[in-house]
Amino acid sequence: MIQVKDSQPSFALKSAFLMLLGSLMLGFVITRTIYVYQKYHSVLDTVDVVEPAEIGEGPQIILEDNTQIQPEAAVAQANSQLQSYLIEEFEGDDGELNEYFEAIPEHIVIPSIDLDASIGYASLRDVKLFGDTYQQWVAPSDEVGWHYRSALLGQSGNTVLNGHHNVMGEVFKDLFLVKEGDEILISSEEGEYTYRVVKVMILPERFESQEVRLQNARWIQPSEDERITLISCWPYESNTHRVVVVAFPAD
């Protein structure tokens, strides 16, 4: 009698193949995890966590968080708040109002991190913190948000921009990679303004005391000099810290 050999791989061979495949997949996952961790955590090795300086009056605004709201609702809310603010601020003076709109930031470019994004309006909402009520700026979806109560471009004061880092467009995902000396280009109807980064900070925020969080918020308060301040959250997989980038006019 002729015995026909089994053409199928043996059980041991199948097991070895599956183990090899599993090892390769596990290695890929571990390598990817290490890469992401190093990219978004090694910055702490080069950036000091520092206390914010005194800027203007006491803080009344808390930095934005990662709360997700519907884009249409956010835009409508920001436009409504801006309209009310303009009516109160300019009281029907069309000349000053036109000058105001010409100096509103509309576009931002940061070559060092390949950022090229439009700028919309951030909106305000009331939040509770340690039993007190504060106003919180919420970044728009898929673009950078300008705090419309902050300074206009080309004028003395603090022009504040915020953006999400891991949701709704992730426009400021790589903001923490900006370094001192990098250029930031911001344009309005009037023209383009060039700024030079002078300070990059990563400040602990979540789980911190009310005093610490209010100290962090001083960075978005008015200033007497001309500057821009960019705000976002960090790290990518969470939002326990705030990234604060301060830049002065390059000229």
pLDDT top residue among 222 and 27: 222
Instruction: Say how far residue 69 (Cα) sits from the centre of its chain.
Output: 16
Mean of per-residue pLDDT scores for the chain: 75
CA dihedral 10, 11, 17, 22 (to 10 degrees): 170
- Edge-to-edge strands, sheet with 123-129: 61-62, 132-138, 123-129
Could you tell me where the beta strands, DSSP code E, fall in 61-182?
61-62, 107-110, 115-121, 123-129, 132-138, 144-146, 157-162
What pTM was estimated for this model as a whole?
Answer: 0.66
pLDDT, tens digit (0-9, with 9 covering 90-100), for 91-121:
655 556 667 778 899 999 999 999 999 999 8
Residues near 102 by beta carbon (within 8 Å), at least 6 away in sequence: 188, 189, 190
Q: For residue 24, which amino acid is it?
A: L
Alpha carbon distance 66, 69 (integer Å) = 9
Every domain of the chain and the residues it spans: 12-44, 49-249
pLDDT, tens digit (0-9, with 9 covering 90-100), for 165-205:
988 889 999 999 999 999 999 999 999 999 999 999 999 88
pLDDT, tens digit (0-9, with 9 covering 90-100), for 138-156:
888 899 999 988 999 999 9
Within 10 angstroms of residue 157's Cβ, the number of other Cβ atoms is 17
In whole angstroms, how large is the CA radius of gyration of the chain?
24
Q: How would CATH label the architecture of 49-249? A: Beta Barrel (2.40)
CA terminus-to-terminus distance, the chain: 96
